[in-house]
Structure 1
Amino acid sequence: MLPIRQIMQEMAAEKLRLSLTILAVAWSTLCIAGLLAVGEGIRSGIVRTIQNGNGNLIHVSGGYATQTHGRFHEGQALSLTEQDSQALAALPMVKRALPSAEWQERITFADKRSWMMPYAVKSEYQAMNKLRLLPGGRWFNPVDETQQRKVVVLGYQLAVQLFNQQEGDWFSGGELEQDPVGQIAKIGAHEFTVIGVLAKNSGNIEQGSPIDDSGFTPFSTWQRFHPNQAISGINLEPRVGSDRQALAATVQQVLKRKYAASLQDQQIVMVQDHFLSQKSMQQFLLRLQSFLGIIGFITLAVASLGITNVMFATVKRATRDIGVRMAVGATPNTIRCHYLAQSLITMGMGGIAGLGVTFAMVRLLAAIPLQGNPIYDHLGQPVPELSLSVIAIVIVTLTVMGIVAAWLPANHAAKVTPLQALQSE
């Protein structure tokens, strides 16, 4: 067994150096655990955001011809129609395909107006984008579509912007002060009845429009005022297990052939796969978290130099005792383990202190009321997370650095001979 009591006595003999070293290790642990916790919180928040709304969808829109072919000349735009969505819905890899159109007028109420144009969508759009409504409201139904009713559903921040008495500042966003359901708003010169308000949602729809700032009307109502007008895009929901890249290529081929455009023109049909964009974002966030971890690791490596110095000082002070122990039968491995254990105890004391401070700071940051801030909400309300994976990384790093820091002093101690011990001062 290791002589723990003797180890603690040796550590007490170097209490000033040891205290400073433990403080450095605690600070380094705080750095690495804190940076990893912040990175984990940001990653989790953004992942929550990108998985909302259009996170699983493929958005298709018309582009511009980059070469003259058939009836298209270079620079000519391709306009999509509702019939295109029906053609794409028939593809075997597509679960459903819904057209969407953007009004060219803004939503107004009294003297207030939205900064985004509302969208005209089908009733299935709610389920496709996982949109939730506040109690007391509803989404439009097939009857609304059949009768082309003038009804509108508002995003949460859009409702705040239009119906709160006082305008909130840009950084706080604000809370909805009254229920807008039943109120009359206008889109251009047309009056629309508000039938629902969406719950707060940090996700996006279409090509990146915030759900909270968007408004929605029945697609048929838009067609009532804009007959035979081109739509702005088509939202595709692939079937589970479908090859998304193959589907995107098939969509381009179908539309290019339908409109007799060049099959080699990569800009005339725009296909944006939000799910694949998510994967790219998640890889970036993982790299960001790794970078933050590397910064903390470097800080810990610098602190480990202090442990190396303390170990060398301890070995020098205890050279005579080491020789006596080896003279009575102690093996080099016993001596080596003695100082490795001393290093790990030092690392453990600093690590526990650092993790304790990190946990307190994480709880303190989580208690700060940032809800309602548009930037914070758009990032998915990230909160630093001292997860089990972060704690495991910190513990492994502390252990490895503790062994590395003590290895040279421990080897030096293991090579001390009784004769060297007797000759030492």
Structure 2
Amino acid sequence: MWRTLVREFLSDLNKQKLRSFLTLTAIAWGTLSVVLLLAFGRGLGTSMMRGMLGAGNQVMIVYGGQTSMTYEGLDIGRQVRFTEEDLKLVERSVQGIQYASPQYGRYGAQLKRNDFTTNTYMEGVDPDFEIMRTMYPAAGGRFINERDVDEMRRVLFLGDEIAVRIFGEEDPVGQQVMLDNTPFTVIGVMKPKMQTSMNNGPDADRAIIPYTTFRNMYGNRTLRSMLIRPGDPSLQESIKTDLVNLMASKYKFDPSDEQAMPMWDFIEQEEMSRKVSTGLEIFLFVVGFFTLMIAGVGVANIMFVVVKERTREIGVKMAVGARKVHIVTQFIFESLFISFLGGLIGIGISTGIVYGVRALNLQGGASDFLGHPEISHIAVAVTIGVLGAIGLLAGIFPAIKASRVDPVESLRYE
């Protein structure tokens, strides 16, 4: 039976080449639209997430602020400034913290090598900073370690862009640089990374030294901020609550006073970014779905035309004993075959385009966001399901109409 259905379908395709070509093209185009929209949409969402994590991987940056509410008779406007001892107290008292680092900062730090001079934002941090800020060293170098901190070594870790400005094509590792007229040895250069959120400029243009060295050089006693990362992102809210209560108790401010201790919460931002990315994928799928539905209407119209053209043939089959279920099966099969064949063509072309774009390995500017499309297997599976539904719906009504043909009347049909 199935062999007969396939043979009749291929025969009909051969008789109506132009009509069949246009129908298959419509289905293929609709499928292509869905797959490409979702692939580039997912690639965009992934790139946005990667760019955000480039500025902070599930971390919370805690700043000292200024009170905006009275508390226990104390006036508003009091400065809240944290120290290294505060961070140690937080690590001892607040459960669930996996990584933590003090952050000292200095704008306009001067870096000089031979006759070249440049200025940048420089930070004094702990080794945990590497993981929290995803500042991983390129091959041949390293980030600062505990021994650098304990011995207050004059070692320097550079962002990839500022390293190129200073050293050009030379390998910076092991070279000396004057940092504010003090000699430092470069121990590593950051791997290039995407970064969409900025904290005093991009990490690619930053200089990093041990926080103890920073304190010893500049005499700072208060931190610019504290950097904290939970061991489990689900502990975010409890850690924030315990942290605020601990510092509020020590520095005498209202725990609800957000201006006294501002926070930049990357975990919260990551969740928002995921929701935006999911919403974008849903929107793009809906757009592509309606494109497919329009193609499905075309298939239904073609099937109605086929029924009309083959009325006499249908009547002959029924006259010689064909049952209604055979007629219905024939037209539904043809409709499904057109849908899946067009869909297969569309998926094949879109897959080729996606992997072709990825093979170009585009970098920089908009290419960082649109040059890395990702095919979603779930989206392909859903698209195939939609194609099946379209083929079924586009074929079932013409099939029912065909099954109701009166054999006697159809034999008179010209």
TM-score w.r.t. the length of structure 2 is 0.89
Q: Is the 8 A contact 2:57 2:134 kept in 1?
A: no
Q: Is the 8 A contact 2:328 2:400 kept in 1?
A: yes
Q: Greater helix percent: which structure?
A: 2
Deviation at 1:330, TM superposition (A): 2.8
2:217 to 215, 221, 225: 225
Of 32-41 and 308-317, the range deviating more from structure 2: 32-41
Letter in 2 for 1:383: H
In structure 1, the residue matched to 2:100 is 97
| 1:375–1:119 Cα change, 3 Å | farther
Letter in 2 for 1:392: A
Deviation at 1:179, TM superposition (A): 0.8
Letter in 1 for 2:306: T
Q: Is the 8 A contact 2:57 2:132 kept in 1?
A: no
Q: Is the 8 A contact 1:107 1:185 kept in 2?
A: no
In structure 2, the residue matched to 1:400 is 389
1:196 to 188, 202, 207: 188
CA distance in 1, matches of 2:402, 2:333: 13
Letter in 2 for 1:148: M
CA distance in 1, matches of 2:27, 2:240: 52
Of 294-303 and 388-397, the range deviating more from structure 2: 388-397
CA distance in 2, matches of 1:193, 1:228: 22
Letter in 1 for 2:11: Q
1:103 counterpart SS class: strand
Summarize the alignment of residues 371-390 of structure 1 with structure 2, pairs less than 5 Å apart: 371=363, 373=364, 376-377=367-368, 379=369, 383-390=372-379
Letter in 1 for 2:208: F
Summarize the alignment of residues 1-400 of structure 1 with structure 2, pairs less than 5 Å apart: 1-2=1-2, 3-51=5-53, 54-70=56-72, 73-90=75-92, 91-109=94-112, 110-114=115-119, 116-164=120-168, 177-203=169-195, 207=199, 210-240=202-232, 243-371=235-363, 373=364, 376-377=367-368, 379=369, 383-400=372-389
Deviation at 1:86, TM superposition (A): 1.0
List per-residue Cα deviations over 1:369-402 (Å, max 9, x = no partner).
Answer: 423x26645x5x8512234333223222221222
Q: Is the 8 A contact 2:61 2:226 kept in 1?
A: yes
Deviation at 1:44, TM superposition (A): 3.1
The gaps in structure 2 that reach 5 residues or longer are none
| 1:406–1:72 Cα change, 3 Å | farther
Letter in 1 for 2:401: H
1:118 counterpart SS class: strand
Q: Is the 8 A contact 2:101 2:127 kept in 1?
A: no
- Percent identical pairs in the alignment equals 29
How many residues align structurally?
409
Letter in 2 for 1:152: L
Deviation at 1:108, TM superposition (A): 2.6
2:62 counterpart SS class: strand
Cα RMSD after superposing both structures: 2.6
Q: Is the 8 A contact 2:101 2:226 kept in 1?
A: yes
2:136 counterpart SS class: coil
CA distance in 1, matches of 2:367, 2:122: 24
Letter in 2 for 1:41: G
CA distance in 1, matches of 2:197, 2:150: 24
| 1:66–1:413 Cα change, 3 Å | farther
Letter in 1 for 2:406: T
| 1:331–1:11 Cα change, 3 Å | same
Deviation at 1:216, TM superposition (A): 0.7
| 1:64–1:417 Cα change, 3 Å | farther
Letter in 1 for 2:318: M
